[in-house]
Amino acid sequence: MAEFAVVFQQLLNGLSLGAMYSLIAIGFTLFFGVIDLINFAHGEIYMLGAFVALITVSILGGMGLIGLNFIVVLAVVLLVTMIFCALVGAAVERSVVKPMRGAPDLMTLLVTLGVSIILREAVMLFYPNGANPQAFPDLLPAGDFSLGGVLIKYEQLFLLTVAAVLVVFLYFLVNKTDYGRYMRATSQDREAAMMMGLDIDRIIVLTFMLGSALGAVAGVLNGMYYNIIKFNMGFLMGIKGFSAAVVGGLGNIYGAVVGGLLLGFLEMFAAAFIPGGSRYQDVIGFLIVIFFLVFRPSGIFHEKVYEKV
Amino acid sequence: MKKYVALLLILSLIVMSFGVVGCGQKQAKTVKIAYIGPITGPNAAIGLGMKNSAELAIKQANASGKLPYKLELLVLDDASDPAQAVNAANKAASDPDVVAAVAHFNSGCALASVHAFHKFGLPAVIIAAIHPKITQNGYPEITRVIGDINIQEKVAGKKATTEFGLKKFAVIQDQTDYGKSNAEAFMDEVKRNGGEIVSYDGIAVGQQDFSALLTTIKAKNPEMIFFGGLATEAALIKRQMADLKIPAIFMSDSGILSSTFNEIAKDAATGTLAHGYGAPIEDLPGGQAFIKAYNEAGFKEPYEAYGPFAYDAAGIVIEAIKKVGPDRAKLVNAIRDTRDYNGVLGKTSFDQNGQTTADLVTTYISENGKWVPYYKSTLKVKDKKIQ
């Protein structure tokens, strides 16, 4: 392989990984933006998304529908997963986050941490053979093409397309719709928004559903990309998604996207171009976070400086 | 009159005690061999198969009528727990009728109990624990009928270089004790046979994305990528190798010889090579006879993967008893001096450490979602189809 092709291949590898980080980071940033909450259960929502997709696929298979057009199957799987995880997100908000409103932020943080452990252990205990890694089915026709020596898989294209579509959708949602305006209002000044007659509770729950649905998509994409899912996959991914959000600037949606991509690229390049770097691949991300927290705590996109947590 | 009664009573007591002593002497002719292995716990199925196989060897020896003693198997459970293993070894050693032991599936158990065997001078044949250090304490009591961890990679390294004729190797390991020692043993053997290591990298257990590492490796054009580690990471590496169209053979060792690897790697699994201890039992030199005898003995549980090893371990002990009699001290030397014992596994001889010299390692290849012995497969390295 020519040198430049290697670099582009690594760029593509980083882009695919970064897109997944971005989707998770958006969730973190939404929760933080609207109610100043760091939701540690978000990583488990992502894990749940992967498992719900797996169950959906096997149910479809049991009904003999898996032979249908793969686009139909994918759409059904993504839809079911997003709805399910949105509901779980809403349930988490209503059952444990809402009662904590007004309590010190540290309490809410602990509560979400507790929820994450419960969700993780529940999947391990109740999913058949849940402690072992599960094989994730190929939902896309396998295939790839070469572009100037760079191999591009259909899965990578799909992953990047889905991520891009979701980001664009989010842009319109936040900037062009009423709900987006309510969300921004709540984020800027909750009391003022309430005084203007906004139903804050509803906006918060909707935000949770939105963020959780995006996290669930990241879970499905991760399953499709690596073909393996595990009950504890949410922990590391959650922390990385959070890191990406911090790097980008917590509370800023574009920051989350950029932060995720940056993290993906840095990990790839560390593994590729630092001798012996592959063993530190997972550490690099956290080094970056520490760097940002020390030198630029507001992230790349300066959204709001937070004193809490 | 009372005197006579008393005398009679005393006499009858004396006679009776003679009788008891007589019985006692007869019982002394029972010789016990201890079996220590997992009867409960996570490896119980394997342990029961080993127990039954040892029992089969003893039944056959008793039935042959060649021994002036009746052999008996004393079954003790180590539950795959080192602490229980030491207890069991102590218990076996404190029974004066026990003259030798066949023991252990787990390396942790064997590493702990060898000291107890040595302390009591009880000869012990290790059945299926493969840690190299088990036979490296200089204890004359300890022998082992299975190859240690290095033998697997010696065979693997030799096969890759001399038989398959490969020259350029990329090696990855998962930085665990297991992965690292396998990778290093493999590299040593490859270098000894003139192979070249073009890259050597570590990864973290639980890592998912190896595309960066593999892209770098691809640029170095290795003919084979060797991985020291377990099934999950191996499956991910193999899939990502296929995605990146790396034209190299993927090989690992017993750590990936499970259905997990094939399930996760799916189509990409095809052509992966791995080495494992032992061999399919039906293909072993004495395999057919063993299977027949085992089935006829009517055991409830199957013999599992390591039954033949336990059968041979017990056979070696019995052979030594035939030679020198049921005496621990003599048996220590007699077992250690075993040369060319003809068993199910083929010929077993022990080296100066008590380690079997046989390198019973089989190359497996993944074909149609299953691990099959390489010699039975239609896939061949030379066809280049398995990349």
Q: Measured between alpha carbons, how far is B233 from B238 in angstroms, rounded to an integer?
A: 9
Distances (CA, A) of B274 to A135, B172, B357, B366: 20, 14, 21, 8
Q: What is the mean pLDDT of residues A43-60?
A: 94
pLDDT higher than 60, residue B21: no
User: Nearest Cβ partner of B202 from A17, A226, A279?
Assistant: A279
* Residue A188 one-letter amino acid: Q
Contact A133 B216 (CB under 8 A): no
- Cα atoms in the Cβ-side hemisphere of radius 13 Å centred on B232: 18
The number of beta carbons lying within 10 Å of the beta carbon of residue A282 is: 20
Residue of B172, B216, B221 for testing the chain A interface, max A β-carbons within 10 Å: B216
Condensed to tens digits (0 to 9), the pLDDT of residues B244-291 reads 889 999 999 888 888 888 988 888 899 999 998 878 888 888 899 999
- Quick check: A238 and A24 in contact, CB under 8 A? yes
- Quick check: B373 and B284 in contact, CB under 8 A? no
- Quick check: A29 and A36 in contact, CB under 8 A? no
Contact A271 B236 (CB under 8 A): no
User: A218 is written with which tokens?
Assistant: 């990241």
DSSP state at residue A297: T
pLDDT higher than 70, residue B3: no
User: B175 is written with which tokens?
Assistant: 């930085």
- Residue ranges of the alpha helices (H) in chain A? 3-35, 42-62, 70-92, 105-126, 154-176, 178-188, 190-195, 200-226, 233-248, 253-273, 281-295
The number of beta carbons lying within 10 Å of the beta carbon of residue B376 is: 11
Cβ contacts of residue B351 below 8 Å, gap of 6+? B357
Within 8 A of A128 by CB-CB distance, chain B residues are none
User: B102 is written with which tokens?
Assistant: 């066949």
- Residue ranges of the alpha helices (H) in A63-199? 70-92, 105-126, 154-176, 178-188, 190-195
Contact A281 B260 (CB under 8 A): no
pLDDT (0 to 100) of residue A308: 38
Within 8 A of B216 by CB-CB distance, chain A residues are 6, 271-273
- Quick check: A205 and A90 in contact, CB under 8 A? yes
pLDDT higher than 90, residue B41: no
Q: What is the mean pLDDT of residues B36-44?
A: 87
Q: Measured between alpha carbons, how far is A219 from A225 in angstroms, rounded to an integer?
A: 10
- Quick check: B356 and B100 in contact, CB under 8 A? no
Contact B202 A6 (CB under 8 A): no
Give the closest-approach CA distance of A17 to chain B in angstroms. 8
Question: Can you state the percent helix, strand and coil of chain B, rounding each to 5?
Answer: 50, 20, 30
pLDDT higher than 80, residue B26: no
Give the closest-approach CA distance of B180 to chain A in angstroms. 13
Condensed to tens digits (0 to 9), the pLDDT of residues A236-250 reads 899 999 999 999 888
Q: Measured between alpha carbons, how far is B328 from B61 in angstroms, rounded to an integer?
A: 19
Contacting A with CB below 8 Å, chain B residues are: 175, 201-204, 206-213, 215-216, 218-219, 232, 235-236, 239, 243-245, 260, 263-264, 266-267
pLDDT (0 to 100) of residue B13: 58
Within 8 A of B243 by CB-CB distance, chain A residues are 144, 151, 153
Confidence of residue B25 (pLDDT cuts 50, 70, 90): very low
Condensed to tens digits (0 to 9), the pLDDT of residues A172-195 reads 998 899 999 998 888 888 888 888
pLDDT (0 to 100) of residue A296: 83
Condensed to tens digits (0 to 9), the pLDDT of residues B59-86 reads 999 998 888 889 999 999 998 899 999 9
E strand or H helix at B322: helix B307-324
The number of beta carbons lying within 10 Å of the beta carbon of residue A14 is: 24
Contact A151 B216 (CB under 8 A): no
Exposure string over B247-277, b if 16+ CB within 10 A, otherwise e = ebbbbbbbbbbeebbbbbbbebbbbbbbbbb
Cβ-in-10-Å burial (0-12, 13-18, 19+) of B218 comes to buried
Nearest to A117 by CA among A96, A99, A102: A96
Confidence of residue B11 (pLDDT cuts 50, 70, 90): low
pLDDT (0 to 100) of residue A148: 79
Q: Measured between alpha carbons, how far is B271 from B381 in angstroms, rounded to an integer?
A: 8
pLDDT (0 to 100) of residue B67: 86
pLDDT higher than 60, residue A307: no
Strands B142-144 vs B168-173: parallel, antiparallel or unpaired: unpaired
Cβ-in-10-Å burial (0-12, 13-18, 19+) of A243 comes to buried
Q: Measured between alpha carbons, how far is B179 from A286 in angstroms, rounded to an integer?
A: 26
- Quick check: A276 and B202 in contact, CB under 8 A? yes
Distances (CA, A) of B173 to B200, B221, B255: 8, 18, 12
Condensed to tens digits (0 to 9), the pLDDT of residues B206-250 reads 888 899 899 999 999 999 999 998 888 999 999 999 988 899 999
Q: What is the mean pLDDT of residues A76-104?
A: 92
User: Nearest Cβ partner of A9 from B201, B215, B232?
Assistant: B215
Nearest to B359 by CA among B371, B367, B351, B368: B351
pLDDT higher than 50, residue B363: yes
- Quick check: B212 and B236 in contact, CB under 8 A? no
pLDDT (0 to 100) of residue B7: 65
Q: Measured between alpha carbons, how far is B5 from B12 in angstroms, rounded to an integer?
A: 10
pLDDT (0 to 100) of residue A276: 77
Q: What is the mean pLDDT of residues A197-220?
A: 93
Distances (CA, A) of B369 to A78, B108, B193, B232, B263: 28, 32, 32, 15, 7
Q: Measured between alpha carbons, how far is A131 from A229 in angstroms, rounded to an integer?
A: 11
Contact A13 B239 (CB under 8 A): no
Distances (CA, A) of B81 to A62, A131, B148, B305: 42, 21, 20, 20
Residue of B172, B199, B205, B211 for testing the chain A interface, max A β-carbons within 10 Å: B211
**Averaged confidence pLDDT in chain A:** 88
- Cα atoms in the Cβ-side hemisphere of radius 13 Å centred on B57: 26
How big is chain B, counted in residues? 387
- Quick check: A47 and A217 in contact, CB under 8 A? no
* CA B47-B332-B309 angle, 5° bins: 25
Within 8 A of A142 by CB-CB distance, chain B residues are 267
Q: How high is the ipTM of this complex?
A: 0.78
Q: Measured between alpha carbons, how far is A56 from B310 in angstroms, rounded to an integer?
A: 46
Cβ-in-10-Å burial (0-12, 13-18, 19+) of A239 comes to middle
Q: Measured between alpha carbons, how far is A61 from A45 in angstroms, rounded to an integer?
A: 24
- Residue ranges of the alpha helices (H) in B164-251? 177-192, 211-218, 231-243
Within 8 A of A5 by CB-CB distance, chain B residues are none
Confidence of residue B22 (pLDDT cuts 50, 70, 90): very low
Give the closest-approach CA distance of B293 to chain A in angstroms. 36
DSSP state at residue B356: B
Cβ contacts of residue A32 below 8 Å, gap of 6+? A38, A245, A250, A251, A306
DSSP state at residue A9: H
Higher pLDDT, B42 or A271: A271
Contact B236 A278 (CB under 8 A): no
Q: Measured between alpha carbons, how far is B35 from B316 in angstroms, rounded to an integer?
A: 14
Within 8 A of B204 by CB-CB distance, chain A residues are 279, 281-282
Lowest mean pLDDT among A136-145, B12-21, B215-224, B285-294: B12-21
Lowest mean pLDDT among A272-276, B146-150, B383-387: B383-387
- Quick check: A88 and A16 in contact, CB under 8 A? no
pLDDT (0 to 100) of residue A283: 82
Residue of B171, B200, B203, B208 for testing the chain A interface, max A β-carbons within 10 Å: B208
Q: Measured between alpha carbons, how far is A99 from A102 in angstroms, rounded to an integer?
A: 8
Distances (CA, A) of B28 to A284, B122, B313: 69, 18, 24
